[in-house]
Amino acid sequence: MNCVLDHRKVDSNDVRMVFDWSMDEATRENSLNTSGFAYEEHQKWFERKLKDPEYHILIYMDGEVPVGMLRIERTSEGGLISIAVSPDHRGKGYGEKMLACASQFANDLKYQKLVAQIWSENKASIQIFERNAYEFESEFELEDGRTFKQYIRKL
């Protein structure tokens, strides 16, 4: 699948929107870190990430409407990727479209592979990643007992 959504890099004006999407109940439930965080803490994190050349946050747009975000962080394993669809736009296929765009973006950055860590109960995300050529690599358990699956996609 080719990229059919426009995207842009986040800027400081996006801090509230990214916070709101990140604090959404379903987003927290599916995250490695399920606990919430204060807006002030998020602002500091956000400003650090804006300056980090190894961390990319993209906002995907359908026309003029932001529908989700993609994060890729360069690690020793490759690009650690996560996607979050705006709560108002879930169930409309945007996650899959964003993931198709992510591979193109990662190729442009010369990544060799992308790594996704998905909560084993998040069946919708697992299906989206599998349909986009991600292969199951391993499984790990967090201290809270939740199990995550790690998928990779070689580029």
Backbone torsions φ then ψ of 150, nearest 5 degrees:
-105, 125
- Distance separating alpha carbons of residues 51 and 26, to the nearest angstrom: 28
Q: How confident is the model at residue 77, as a pLDDT?
A: 86
Q: How confident is the model at residue 4, as a pLDDT?
A: 87
Domain segments of the chain as ranges: 6-154
Q: How confident is the model at residue 30, as a pLDDT?
A: 78
Q: Which residues contact 95 (CB under 8 A, 6 or more apart)?
A: 68, 83, 85, 124, 125, 128
Low pLDDT (below 50) residues in the chain: none
Cα separations in angstroms, 10 against 14, 25, 82, 143, 151 = 6, 22, 15, 32, 26
Q: Which of 52, 54, 60 is nearest to 17 (CA)?
A: 60
Would you tell me which CATH number, out of the four given (2.60.120.260, 3.10.129.10, 3.20.20.70, 3.40.630.30), belongs to the domain 6-154?
A: 3.40.630.30
Helical pair 94-108 and 123-131, crossing angle rounded to 10 deg: 50
pLDDT, tens digit, 9 for 90 and up, residues 140-155: 999 989 999 999 999 9
Q: How confident is the model at residue 81, as a pLDDT?
A: 97
Q: How confident is the model at residue 18, as a pLDDT?
A: 96
Helical pair 15-23 and 39-51, crossing angle rounded to 10 deg: 120
